[in-house]
Amino acid sequence: MSLDLPSTGCRSTPVLKERGQREVFCGLTGIIWLHRKMQDAFFLVVGSRTCAHLLQAAAGVMIFAEPRFGTAILEEKDLAGLADANAELDREVARLLARRPDIKQLFLVGSCPSEVIKLDLARAAERLSAVHAPHVRVYNYSGSGIETTFTQGEDACLAAMVPTLPATTARELLIVGAMPDVVEDQCLSLLAQLGIGPVRMLPARRAGDLPAVGANTVFALVQPFLGDTHAALTRRGARHLPAPFPFGEEGTTAWLRAIADEFGVARDLFEQVTAAPRARAQKAIATQSQELRGKSVFFFPDSQLEIPLARFLTRECGMTAVEVGTPYLHEGLVGPDLDLLPSGPVISEGQDVEKQLDRQRAAAPDLTVCGLGLANPLEAEGHTTKWAIELVFTPVHFYEQAGDLAGLFSRPLRRKAILRKEAAE
């Protein structure tokens, strides 16, 4: 690795572990981007009106574009006897599949209510898979708040698919994590120029493109929240290539380098392929990050992207991290990013939101990265915030998006400066 390691990184920093009120989304929200990615999949949440209301609130206007997700709302009679619930589910699924014959993959997504009443969706998925085979494959995972936080919904979904993937002995590279198509194409193009292939994707855009997996598969993660998927792939014999996550120029280069080293790509070729996009990314970051230099940043936990993003902001945009909060810290995945993150910030896992707000107010950071439930209240107190969810929905990976990624953080500061100027006149 060609990166300069800081004299001390954060790998051995003691982690502040907190329990208390959490201000986070549940894993059901992953459906909102997963259904865009998997174009022949439908996500059927088995839950309550709250689950439907959550998806509606989180999906905003997307719900009007004939979404491929919905909620089978449990009613009082479903709670009375579980046998009924299974029959009801079978009926709703049959009706749904009749109405949407284009659906090839159906995900039964567990919620808090369905988990608490122990509705066995895994068996329901098996049963329904048999009924609707071979046209539709039915999977099951839980996106419940009691088990999953926000992006962990994607992890649970992908991990549920891994055991059913076909087996292979081919030496293939598997890229794991949902990315917007435009970013995925850039990723594939870079790998192709490096002469690495064949490359498979999980998730695939369509059921027919699902990858195979086996002992000769090596996989790289593009998202830091894929702990269970990592474990499931490892159980199938695949080997993980640890690397920093591909955010910013440095992160992207290190990520590509890890794969290039595995596939024996010559240094010359690597330089040749990456030189131009690296230069473009550095230039774009320099332009977009002017407002960020010398400023401090505080991360509330949200998506597990916090550690790689703090690494990007501190090393490539000149910021100082005060606290980096993450809902879960999977050292096996974010370890390389922790190595690169200069020591100093509090690394916190979990949340007691009131106490964390006390720390945030005491630190008075220049920029606070937080969820939408906290953003406006903090703005009203005079803090500048960047709402975190956008970082999950917006294309931010790899070289061509590096400038945009810095821009997402600098825009709130630029805006604050514009409005202040207006007020001063």
Q: Which is nearer to other proteins, 357 or 396 (CB)?
A: 357
Reading phi first (left if > 0) and then psi (alpha if -120 to 50, else beta), residue 338 is in alpha
Among 37, 43, 71, 158, binds other proteins (CB under 8 A): 71
Told to check if 317 binds other proteins by CB under 8 A, we report no
Q: Give the nearest distance from C-beta 18 to other proteins in angstroms.
A: 12
Which SS3 state, helix, strand or coil, does residue 241 take? coil
Site string for other proteins, 82-121 (x = CB under 8 A): ---x--xx-xx--xx---------------xx-xxx----
333-362 footprint of other proteins as x/- string (CB under 8 A):
---------------------x--------
Residue 330 in tokens: 């999977």
Q: Of 52 and 321, which CB lies nearer to other proteins in the complex structure?
A: 52
380 binds other proteins (CB under 8 A): yes
Instruction: Give 245 or 328: the residue with its C-beta nearer to other proteins.
Output: 328
By the rule CB under 8 A, 376 interacts with other proteins: yes
Tell me which amino acid residue 11 is: R
Q: Are 399 and 279 in contact (CB under 8 A)?
A: no
Q: Give the per-residue contact string, 1-20, with other proteins (x = CB under 8 A; - = no).
A: -------------------x
State which of positions 32-51 bind other proteins (CB under 8 A).
44, 46, 48-50
Rounded CA gap, 70 and 2, in Å?
Answer: 47
Residue 139 and residue 105 in contact, taking contact as beta carbons nearer than 8 Å: yes
Decide if 40 contacts 207 (C-beta within 8 A): yes
Nearer to other proteins, 10 or 357 (CB): 357
Ramachandran region, residue 33 (left: φ > 0; alpha: ψ -120 to 50; beta: rest):
alpha
Nearest to 125 by CA among 28, 231, 236, 44: 44
Sheet holding 199-202, edge to edge: 199-202, 173-176, 218-221, 239-240
Closest to other proteins by CB, 88 vs 262, is 88
Among 92, 82, 114, CA closest to 42: 92
**Site map (CB under 8 A) of other proteins, residues 119-158, x = contact:** -------------------------xxxx-x---------
Interface residue with other proteins, options 30, 177, 277, 371 (CB under 8 A): 371
The answer for residues whose C-beta is within 8 angstroms of residue 216's C-beta and 6 or more apart is 168, 169, 170, 171, 172
- Tokens representing 195? 């002469």
Cis peptide before 203 (omega within 30 of 0): yes
Which residues sit at the interface with other proteins, rule CB under 8 A? 20-29, 44, 46, 48-50, 52-54, 56-58, 61, 63-64, 67, 69-76, 78-79, 85, 88-89, 91-92, 95-96, 112-113, 115-117, 144-147, 149, 354, 371-377, 379-380
